[in-house]
Amino acid sequence: MVTYIKLDIASTTYTDLLSTNVTNTIGDNNSSSHFTVQLKNINGIYSDTFSINDEVEIWAEKDVSPATTKIFTGIIEDIKFKGKEQDETITISGRDYTARLMDRNVEPEVYNDDDIADIVIDIMDKYVDTITRTNVTASTGITLNHISFNQTPVYDALKQLAEMCDHIFWVDTNKDLHFQSKGVTSSGETLNNTNVRKATFKETDREVYNDVWVYGDTFLTGREDTFTGTGTGSVFTLAFKPHNTNVTVNGSIQYGGVFGIYTDVPSGVQYLVDYHDKQIIFASGTACGDNIPALNGSITTSYQWDRRIVKHGTNEESIARYGKKTKIIVDRNIMKPKQAADTVSQTLDLFSEPRKQGNIDLQNIVYLVPGQTVIVNLPNHNIDNVTYTILESKYIFTQSSMLSDEVLKVKVADKIKDVVDTIKQILLDMKKMQAADTSSEILTRMMWGAGSAGFRVKTWALNTNAIGSEFIIGHPINSELDGNYHMWDGTYDWTYSTSGGEA
């Protein structure tokens, strides 16, 4: 079997390819589909042929030339020239249109009581203009009580939504977004000893989480604690750790300080706040005097206390099998308890069991679509007709690989985090922290418009019409009906006199 490839750049076909690599992937993989093409640049034939943003289309086919199955649509983002002696090459690379999802942000948005599919559609309609959304599922069946985004890349917002409803998403070769449930579409292929050249399967409990804590945003609410003075007691314990305390004794405002700061409480300070021990301590000393409230004195403490959104959940069956594995999620964008609870449930659903991932080198198959499912039957790997989702398809087109049918490699099953994913998560968490400080009731948007407007007189014209022998009432000459003059027939014969203007 021979694999054929067809490459078009800006609608022009190129055949003198040295090598072509295409990687198609779905959103689970934290990356977009991408390509790299290397061509011979003999005598600089392609020195100015390609431009950034030119559209790239790649087809592949088994035993059919020219190939007719489109496997990739994207844009050029990098152009590299390399020359040594007689050997000149040009390498172009870029991403597919998933790049548009990565490059655009969801501006401050809040969704309440919306189906996840409706949120996806709204985000796509508002923030992404070059990708259609025909294959976004009509309904996920999961309604979110509350979710908010604040300058989150569209890609990451979709990934978060997809994880919440166990969906996957990708942009296909027709620049259309697919957002659908896992395992919906089968590729129709079974991978077994007839088409698998090499397979590596890994199962790990590195990402098992069965004890999940979610910390959301913090709200301050006010309260008032009252006490009665004993005449000798100076320490009064509050119900909660206080912020912004306001203390009065018999209606008289007291002036406060921070416990532990002073070696000798200075004059003017009447009480001290011990935040962590939740105490108000009335001061007495040489400089500050005796501020201890008198017997039966009325003490009122008004303050604000933290109400942090916190939810906790466990999967006891997973804990029994794999031991307790704790995950802590801190996200200040979580502003409602229900949203925190949903996050706990979703995390437990996804991560209570070990993850399995396979890398398979194939033959006799030329095209597999990430997002579709495939049946894997490799008994030596303890995999007996198990259905897995295709996470990634990688094509390496060289003369040798196409002739020997060693073009396609796939990655299947659950994604296991690697260093790249960890770094990505760190960057995303930093962005969320930064974005939290940008939330605001009033948002000033500045937009620079393209072009300007002007106002002018485009043209003007003066025309005259000779009245000839028309009868005109009131006219000094033409007002006498004596045979020389006739009634006006109602028409004008304007003659150009002068004109001007910009045109």
Summarize as ranges the residues that interact with another protein (CB under 8 A): 453-468, 472, 474-478, 492, 494, 497-498, 500-502
Shortest Å, Cβ 486 to another protein: 15
The nearer residue to another protein, 68 or 465, going by C-beta atoms, is 465
SS (H, E, C) 474-490: CCCCCCCCCCCCEECCC
d(CA 338, CA 230): 45
The nearer residue to another protein, 260 or 501, going by C-beta atoms, is 501
d(CA 247, CA 253): 6
Shortest Å, Cβ 503 to another protein: 8
Burial of 477 (0-12, 13-18, 19+ CB in 10 A): exposed
Answer positive or negative: Cα dihedral of 129, 135, 138, 141.
Answer: negative
Shortest Å, Cβ 449 to another protein: 15
DSSP 8-state assignment for residue 380:
G
Cα of 153 vs its chain's centroid, Å: 3
Q: Which region holds residue 177: left if phi is over 0, alpha if psi is between -120 and 50, else beta?
A: beta
- What is residue 222's three-state secondary structure? strand
d(CA 266, CA 344): 49
The nearer residue to another protein, 137 or 478, going by C-beta atoms, is 478
The nearer residue to another protein, 448 or 455, going by C-beta atoms, is 455
d(CA 121, CA 148): 15
The nearer residue to another protein, 451 or 483, going by C-beta atoms, is 451
Shortest Å, Cβ 57 to another protein: 38
d(CA 156, CA 215): 20
Shortest Å, Cβ 52 to another protein: 32
Q: For 163-249, list the strands marked E by DSSP.
A: 167-171, 176-181, 186-191, 196-204, 211-228, 235-237, 243-249
The nearer residue to another protein, 138 or 457, going by C-beta atoms, is 457
Shortest Å, Cβ 502 to another protein: 8
The nearer residue to another protein, 270 or 478, going by C-beta atoms, is 478
Shortest Å, Cβ 455 to another protein: 5
Q: Which of 400, 461, 397 is nearest to 4 (CA)?
A: 397
- What is residue 247's three-state secondary structure? strand
Shortest Å, Cβ 491 to another protein: 12
Shortest Å, Cβ 116 to another protein: 43
Question: CA 392, 395, 396 angle in degrees (round to 5)?
Answer: 140
The nearer residue to another protein, 448 or 460, going by C-beta atoms, is 460
The nearer residue to another protein, 352 or 478, going by C-beta atoms, is 478
Cis bond before residue 242 (omega within 30° of 0): no
